[in-house]
Chain A
Amino acid sequence: AAGLCPARALLARPGAALRALCGSVRGLAAGPEMHFGFQTVTEAERREKIYQVFESVAKKYDVMNDSMTLGIHRVWKDILVRKMNPSPGTLLLDVAGGTGDIAFRFINYVRSVRERQLQRKLRHHQNLSWQEIAESYQEDKSKSLGDSQVVVCDINKEMLKVGKQKAQHLGYTEGLSWVLGNAEELPFDDDKFDVYTIAFGIRNVTRIDLALQEAYRVLKPGGRFLCLEFSHVSNPLLSSLYDLYSFQVIPVLGEVIAGDWKSYQYLVESIRRFPPQEELKAMIEDAGFLKVDYQNLNSGIVAIHSGFKL
């Protein structure tokens, strides 16, 4: 993995940092040293620093996402929800869902599925009795989402605040709730959710293994785990261009748009430090998930990992 990024060679410090670099994240007993981007920090420091990163970027989060990815992050998120293909009545837990991008897409999706369902029902039931028609009025009014629900859980107050404001601004009121919580220690009961998503969040979790175990715990049997995250590009040419863009352009954008070079430097570094596709797949399997698979988007710049609790 070290060979992928020339900048890493320049920034790497000898000794402990290199060991941490090469060590498998899976096997990493939470020793005193962890990585924060390319720095070496203690576990407590890492949590603190990550919290501060998102506290700082919260208000500009969406704008930065659009600028850095040229709007493509919207497509990635659309693909995630389409892959999920939720039916009305689905209970979704969106972890690290801060500003609500996945939650809103989920609501839109089930709403349109629900509308189509109702239209189909109408077409096939032209000869309803008056009794049935009266009943249908009562039913439909309360079920525009068909009992679907999404709980957005994030550890960062600022991100949730932005998300809640966005929801109000866009008119999302029903089927949506917000919880301040830690992915490694979820405040939810066992076997509750149909789907668990974590989009561009798991990279910032300090103990990924714990987060995966918690994901497994709160999912219903038959439930699905979906993770959308930056991953590794194997194509060497593309990889070099990607590195160039990441290290030369993104922090500059961060400074110009959000006035925050360091946070975006962290972002770029954290992507490089994150386990590649196969390794993350193994970690997900370790948590007990079955039929674990991944789908590369844009040659591996982003990947969607999926697993089932069976």
Chain B
Amino acid sequence: MLSKLKLHGGAELLFDGVKNHHVTLPGQSDPWDMKQLLAWIRGNMLKERPELFMQGDTVRPGILVLINDADWELMGELEYQLQDQDNVVFISTLHGG
């Protein structure tokens, strides 16, 4: 399943400075939800300092998540099920990256 990830506001620093990522998530029987996506990102993409991006199961407070240009709070946050070609944007509003 293809997905487009974008990083803004300093979050890109944790991903080698690359702002746009096209990721292909491995196929699985259940549809991917945000919780699994975040765990996948932490395992496969975060090069360093995972605690600056994630806190437990969810993103660190201060990092906003937009799914297809809409607030993820409207979509169910971690329970939202990803669809093909979905656009996920992470914006950091914090001072320190």
Whether A associates with B in a native complex is no
Q: B-contacting residues of A (Cβ < 8 Å)?
A: none
